[in-house]
Structure 1
Amino acid sequence: MKYLLIILFTSFSTKAQTSGYIEFKSKIVSQVIDTAKTKNDNVKQMMLNTVYKMKKQMPYATYELIFNDNKSVFKIKKKMSVDNTIDYKDVAGFSDADGEFFTESTKELRLRKIKAWNNDYIIRSSFSQWELKNQEKKILGYRCFKAVSKKELDNGDSIEVIAWFAKDLPFNFGPKEFVGLPGLILEIEERGIKFYATKVNLSNKNYNIKLPEVNKSISKKEFLSQ
């Protein structure tokens, strides 16, 4: 009876919590840039130097995911550089995580607010399609399940995206644009870069998340055409 009450209380507490704050870090876990087709040795070395530089700087960058029962926003956490060698904007840009990523789950709407070519853009997209896998592992004490999806790159190629989500955290949000799974995404890997949760804080705090104006948004295709 005692254990039953504990289980019921834990279940009720998780469902009662309607918002959260998650911190993420990123790191390079495999080859990020393919230099095989690059014939110019100077360009190849420059590409490798960029990867080496980002690998050293990534541990200093922290990202935050803030969400309520319906909306979320993901962005790099603003902080002072520990020295002049850390450029957080470059780190986020290298990981395709610059700007702000917004989600409105009831409308299956994703918006990304980003600055490019000295202009501000709002890029809209729909939820990704996920394939659930029969694999699991523990992340921060949570039982997480594997899911895979495809992401189209700017050049038209597509890459595999691997996500690990926790069903015990009943929120369909995650880092960057990766959302839409039956549980909070605590880890994502794409193009050799991994984003992983380092802190999970659930609460009933009323986070006021204001999405950018949808009527001013454009599709990714329209964005690339500019």
Structure 2
Amino acid sequence: MKYLLILLICFTANAQTSGLVNYKSKIFSQVIDTTEIKDDKIKKSMLQTVQKMKKQMPYASYVLKFNSNESIFKIAKKMTVDEIIDYNLIAGFSDADGEFFNSKNKKIRLRKLKAWNNEYIIRSNFPEWKISNQKKDVLGYQCLKATTEKELDNGDIIEVVAWFAKDIPFNFGPKEYAGLPGLILEIEERGIKFYATEIDLNNKKHNIKLPDVKKSITKKEFLSQSPYK
């Protein structure tokens, strides 16, 4: 009976051609290291920002739409009555502002981002993943752990942890992360976690129009245009 149920889940997932996933984000460990900051005012301001983000992040959600070849990920803004939520600050703090596109066939990632009064399209290749045997349950799916590395704007290298479901055979996930043999349901990076809250697999055709690759630039070229360099 258990074997039949697994076969049914796999068959159902493989029969779908597209889907939509809702994600939330939260701070789960230290996100800012203030040990080397000597200015107490700057340190206090940074810590206050972290506390503000811990309070506001639950109000923001993100949406991943995908078909068999492409995906788009972006923040979904919602109105709240109780307090003013700074969605731009939440997304920027999590390095999730703008729109993230992935193409399975082209193995390319594109991020459409507004910065310094201009709009940019930043391109990069799929990351290289290391898949382990470590498992955990996410929304009823058995997920495997995978890790990769990410270079921050300041040049620091951090480890990124992903949990992906092989039973959902789509190669996409939150933000710029893609290229695993299954849908990424959780991402952990720099003390911030993006986690799936709802999965809708269907046969609706999500037409995803990728930005013009010819107008894209590398991350290095993007950072070179910063007025603060």
- What is the TM-score when the length of structure 2 is the normalising length? 0.95
Amino acid at match of 2:193: K
How far did residue 14 of structure 1 move? 1.5
The alignment status of 1:138 with 2:137, answered yes or no, reads yes
Instruction: Give the % identical residues.
Output: 67
How far did residue 133 of structure 1 move? 1.2
Residue matched to 1:147? 146
Residue matched to 2:20? 21
Q: Which moved more, 1:4-13 or 1:183-192?
A: 4-13
Equivalent-residue separation in structure 1 for 2:32 and 2:219 (angstroms): 23
Matched positions, count: 225
- What is the TM-score when the length of structure 1 is the normalising length? 0.96
* Alignment of structure 1 residues 55-70 onto 2, 5 Å: 55-70=54-69
How far did residue 78 of structure 1 move? 2.6
Deviations 1:27-48 (A, max 9, x none): 0000000000100111100000
Equivalent-residue separation in structure 2 for 1:31 and 1:4 (angstroms): 42
* Alignment of structure 1 residues 4-19 onto 2, 5 Å: 7-19=6-18
- SS of corresponding position for 2:207: coil
How far did residue 189 of structure 1 move? 0.3
How far did residue 10 of structure 1 move? 3.5
User: Is contact 2:98–2:112 with CA below 8 Å preserved after alignment?
Assistant: yes
Equivalent-residue separation in structure 1 for 2:190 and 2:215 (angstroms): 30
Equivalent-residue separation in structure 1 for 2:106 and 2:193 (angstroms): 28
Residue matched to 1:206? 205
Equivalent-residue separation in structure 1 for 2:138 and 2:128 (angstroms): 23
* Alignment of structure 1 residues 1-226 onto 2, 5 Å: 7-226=6-225
Q: Structure 2: 5+ residue runs without aligned partners?
A: none
Q: Structure 1: 5+ residue runs without aligned partners?
A: none
- SS of corresponding position for 2:46: helix
How far did residue 79 of structure 1 move? 2.1
Amino acid at match of 2:168: L
Q: Is the alpha carbon distance of 1:31 and 1:105 closer, same or farther for their aligned partners in structure 2, counting shifts above 3 Å?
A: same
Aligned-residue CA RMSD in angstroms?
1.4
User: Is contact 1:81–1:87 with CA below 8 Å preserved after alignment?
Assistant: no
Deviations 1:39-86 (A, max 9, x none): 011110000000000010000000000000000000001322435531
- SS of corresponding position for 1:169: coil
